[in-house]
Amino acid sequence: MTESLTGGAAAAPLSMRAAASLTSAAVRAARQLLTDLECGRRIDAAVLRSAMEAAFGASDAAGIWNWKTAYDVCEAATVLFLRTFGPAMRAKAGSTAAMLPILARIANCLPAHTRRSEDSQRFNSRRRFRLGSPHATQPASRRLIACSSRPPGPVCLPSLPNSPAALWY
């Protein structure tokens, strides 16, 4: 990753201490969001902004964090949630395919990775072809079912190399 957390690709690289401080703040924000996920509460932009401001000590306008970082923190909170509750959820579901609706409920608690308004999103979804979530989960479920027959180890879906899909089962 050549882009720094605060200034984009053109910014000077962060010192090790500054990078560690930002990483520590991101982990604090993820842990704060984890409590919302554990309670099944929806994480909207206001909740996300509040967690980020509390963890980083400043708003996005100050340039300490950006919304890409905030969405990465949401994914980190999801990974923390699945590391804690994933094995129990999988055991209760009985199969990887039966776990997909549970994962969909978790995903519905997270904000969309966009800063566009709801009206803009509705307009754009009508304007271009897009698969709905039932159709989008079918290829993923096939890959997850195929992976479930393998011995325990890391599972990484090829289409999502940098996402929470790379988990230990």
Domain ranges of the chain: 16-168
Q: Is 154 helix (H, G, I), strand (E, B) or coil?
A: strand
The enclosing H or E element of 156 equals none
Q: Report pLDDT digits (tens) over 8-18.
A: 555 567 688 87
Q: Which three-class secondary structure state does DSSP give residue 153?
A: coil
3-state SS assignment for residue 116:
coil
Tokens describing residue 106: 């978790």
At 169 the pLDDT is 40
What is the rounded CA–CA span in Å between residue 49 and residue 29? Answer: 10
> What string of DSSP letters covers 13-77?
PPPHHHHHHHHHHHHHHHHHHHHHHHTT----HHHHHHHHHHHHSS-GGGTS--HHHHHHHHHHH
pLDDT digit string (tens) for 34-56?
A: 999 999 999 999 999 999 999 99
Cβ neighbours for 151, distance < 8 A, ≥ 6 positions apart: none
66-94: average pLDDT = 92
**Average pLDDT over all residues of the chain:** 74
Q: Give CA–CA dist 31/76, Å, rounded.
A: 9
- Residue pair 165/155 in contact (Cβ under 8 Å)? The answer is yes
Nearest Cα to Cα of residue 106 among 157, 160, 158, 43: 43
* pLDDT mean over 137-160: 49
Which amino acid appears at position 98 of this protein? Answer: A
